[in-house]
Amino acid sequence: MLSIKNLHATVEGKPILKGINLDVKAGEVHAIMGPNGSGKSTLANVLAGRDDYEVTAGSIEFMGEDLLEMEPEERAWAGIFLAFQYPVEIPGVSNIYLLKAGLNAIRKNQGLPELDAMDFLKLAKEKLKTVEMKEEFLYRSVNEGFSGGEKKRNEVYQMAVLEPKLAILDETDSGLDIDALKIVADGVNALRGQDRAFVVVTHYQRLLDYIVPDVVHVLANGKVIKTGDKTLALELEKQGYGWIDEQAA
Partner 1 sequence: MQELIENYRQQFAGLDLPVNQLAELRQQGLSRLGEMGFPTTRDENWRYTNIKPLLKQAFNVVTNPETTISNDQVMGFEIENLNSYKVIIVDGRLNTELSEQSLPAGLTLKNLAEVLEQDSERATTYINQLVPQATHGFMELNTAFIKNGVWVEVGENIEIAKPIELLFVSTGLENSLIQPRNVFIAAEQSQVKIIERYVSLSDQKSMTNTISEIYCAENTNVEHIRIQQESRATNHISGTFTKLAQDSHFSTSTITLGGNLTRNDLRCQISGTGAHSNMYGLYAANQRQHVDNFTQVEHQVANCTSDELYKGVLDDRARAVFHGRIYVAQDAQQTDAYQNNRTLLLSRDAEIDTKPQLEIYADDVKCSHGATIGQLNQEYLFYLRARGVEESKARRMLTFAFVKESLNAITIEPLKVYLEQQLDQQLLKGGHYGD
CA 237 to CA 33: how far, in whole Å?
A: 10
Per-position b or e across 139-177, b if 16+ CB within 10 A of its CB: ebbbbeebeebbbbbbbbbbbbbbbbbbbbbbbbbeebe
Number of residues interacting with partner 1: please give it, by CB under 8 A.
Answer: 31
Shortest spacing between CB 161 and partner 1, in angstroms: 10
Do the beta carbons of residue 20 and residue 7 sit within 8 Å?
yes
Return phi, psi of residue 222, to 5°: 80, 10
- Rounded Cα–Cα distance for residues 241 and 249 (Å): 12
Smallest separation, CB 41 to partner 1 (Å): 14
Q: How far is the CB of 143 from partner 1 (least distance, A)?
A: 9
**What residues are paired with 31 via a beta bridge?**
200, 216
Quote the least distance from Cβ 61 to partner 1, whole Å.
19
Among 23, 90, 116, 135, binds partner 1 (CB under 8 A): 90
Nearest to partner 1 of 21, 174 (CB atom)? 174
Q: Find out whether 217 and 202 touch, Cβ atoms under 8 Å.
A: no
Nearer to partner 1, 97 or 241 (CB): 97
- CA distances in angstroms from 64 to 3, 30, 167, 220, listed in the order given: 9, 19, 17, 28
Residue 97 engages partner 1 in binding (rule: CB under 8 A)? yes
Q: Does 142 bind partner 1 (CB under 8 A)?
A: yes
DSSP for 114-134, please give it: PP-HHHHHHHHHHHHGGGT--
User: Which residues 6+ apart lie within 8 Å of 112 measured at CB?
Assistant: none
- Closest approach, Cβ 30 to partner 1, in A, equals 20
158 belongs to the binding site for partner 1 (CB under 8 A) = yes
44 lines the binding site for partner 1 (CB under 8 A): no
Q: Looking at 1, 4, 32, 106, which residue binds partner 1 (CB under 8 A)?
A: 106
Residue 99 is a binding residue for partner 1 (CB under 8 A): yes
Tell me, residue by residue from 48 to 87, as one string, x for binding to partner 1 by CB under 8 A and - for no binding: xxxx-------------------xxx-xxx---xx-x--x
Report if residue 102 touches partner 1, rule: CB under 8 A.
yes
- Least CB distance from residue 119 to partner 1, whole Å? 17
Distance CA 17, CA 227 (A): 17
Contact 217, 33 (CB under 8 A): yes
- Which residues of the shown chain bind partner 1 in the complex (CB under 8 A)? 48-51, 71-73, 75-77, 81-82, 84, 87-88, 90-93, 97-99, 101-103, 105-106, 141-142, 158, 162
